Amino acid sequence: MDTVLVVDYGAQYAQLIARRVRECHVYSEIVPHDLSVAELAARAPAGIILSGGPRSVYSEGAPRVDPALFELGIPVLGICYGQQAMAQALGGRVARTGTAEFGRTELTATGAPSLLLEGLPDTQTVWMSHNDSVVEAPPGCVVTAATATSPAAVFEDPQRRLFGVQFHPEVAHTPFGLDVLKAFLYQGCDLLPTWTMTSVIASAVEAVRSQVGSERIVCALSGGVDSSVAAALVHRAVGDQLTCVFVDHGLLREGEAEQVEETFRRHLHVDLIHVKAADRFLERLAAVTDPETKRKVIGETFIRVFEEVAHDELEDARFLVQGTLYPDVIESGTRDAARIKSHHNVGGLPEDMSLTLVEPLRNLFKDEVRRVGEELGLPEEIVWRQPFPGPGLAVRIVGEVTSERLALLRAADAIVLEEIRRAGLMREVWQSFAVLPAVHTVGVMGDERTYGYPVVLRAVTSEDAMTADWARLPYEVLERISNRIVNEVPGINRVAYDITSKPPGTIEWE
């Protein structure tokens, strides 16, 4: 399979670049910038993209590009920092012009023949985010576009198949960005758009069979999109070797445990063991308020429950299936990207696990997982269910998790989902839910002073959870949600709406 490697220089956008390449139906993988040229060459990539990054190419310790990379004959596209590092390595000149470019910027073609910009408007809007600029293109490269402060915003050497762009073609704010990437992939790398969900499934099935052989497998089934698709995919690969274990940790939404059991027995037709462990999780979470500790406690307890099931009922099970996705891995931290939070199925796993992980979705984004689910024939209520964190409502309670707070949040959250569904907005928002801060606020109800919990409503729009914007819900929907929560959930006397995007915030509160 032809692969394009995205060399990660520490920018969160590196993941978005990989996703955009996949949208062009070309497979991509992220690799760290400190891989040697020999290691990169050994991967035999069809193309290489150098990502942006937070550093200046002149700062001490900034990652550099080995000039030998450009002697391999592999097409290379440098983006932002990647373009600057590329220009520096090839003998061009990078400087701080005194004027930075951040946000929407007008890019103008120079009129020189261009592989990247062919067929696009002579002037277009692009998204910039830089202080330094390439002020002199490397020898042999032709400047094909510039901006007011970036004299070599795009340079190209079609003979050596080397290309550099100062702007970010991977973001939605660059309207023709996908066209630029397609030009690099299809013309620059001579690739065909053959990476499809059908090929993804075939590769994953083969990988699972190769990993597990004839061994028994247990699946950590939560009922969410990720674990559901993972279960269906592994079931296609190994059939009756798979047993799904659904742990009801008492942190699920209203009616969810019953729905999960009914849905998976009916649609997946696999062995399902339902473990009711709410008391155990609550006991472990007692007095825990730190978000990271919560996730680690829940992750470890999950694993221990699975190990016990494997020992007591599936003595020969050696593998554990999890629905880990790419954003889970990235946000839990890599050597080049800071840890945003530990996901229960990545940073929260104990080191002494007795089960070996099987993660068939580990390199996929959420939208890709949904398409895989549709291709596998899963019902719409599974595939298009809103994302729900593995640690459940525990990470939507800011403070200690108690049975009382869970009951309040569960009731409020049910109202949120019911009203969003009633308004026909379920497919328009990425996630919509309630958050319960463990504080009290003063209110007045029935001419009496109250001292109850507030609830924060969170609704966001997104494509892949790497970035998100707050949803502009109609006022009348917000009003219905607020009125119902305050009137129908005793103990809650105030509703607020979170209008923070990601970044700077995260989708979840903890």
Residue of 23, 24, 130, 168 with catalytic role: 168
E strands along 169-283, which residues? 216-221, 242-248, 271-276
Which residue in 439, 441, 443, 432 sits closest to 405, CA to CA? Answer: 439
280's enclosing H/E stretch is helix 278-285
Q: At what angle do helices 403-422 and 475-488 cross, to 10 degrees?
A: 150
Residue of 23, 101, 170, 331 with catalytic role: 170
Which residue in 171, 225, 243 sits closest to 23, CA to CA? Answer: 171
Give the strand pairing for 242-248 and 397-398.
unpaired
Active site residue 170: yes
CA distance 390 to 394: 9
| Token code pair at residue 153 | 């915003």
Active site residue 343: no
For residue 356, the cross-strand partners are 319
Which residue in 117, 114, 9, 142 sits closest to 65, CA to CA? Answer: 9
CA distance 260 to 236: 20
CA distance 149 to 147: 5
CB 163 within 8 A of CB 145: no
Which residue in 33, 141, 161 sits closest to 93, CA to CA? Answer: 141
Kindly tell me the sign of the dihedral angle through the C-alpha atoms of 397, 400, 401, 407. negative
CA distance 220 to 353: 14
Give the three-state DSSP class for 36. coil
Helices (H) and strands (E) in the chain, counts: 14, 20
Residue type, 51: S
Active site residue 269: no
Q: Is the peptide bond before 503 cis (omega within 30 degrees of 0)?
A: yes
CB 309 within 8 A of CB 273: yes
Residue of 24, 33, 80, 235 with catalytic role: 80
Which residue in 408, 409, 387 sits closest to 396, CA to CA? Answer: 409
Active-site positions read 80, 168, 170
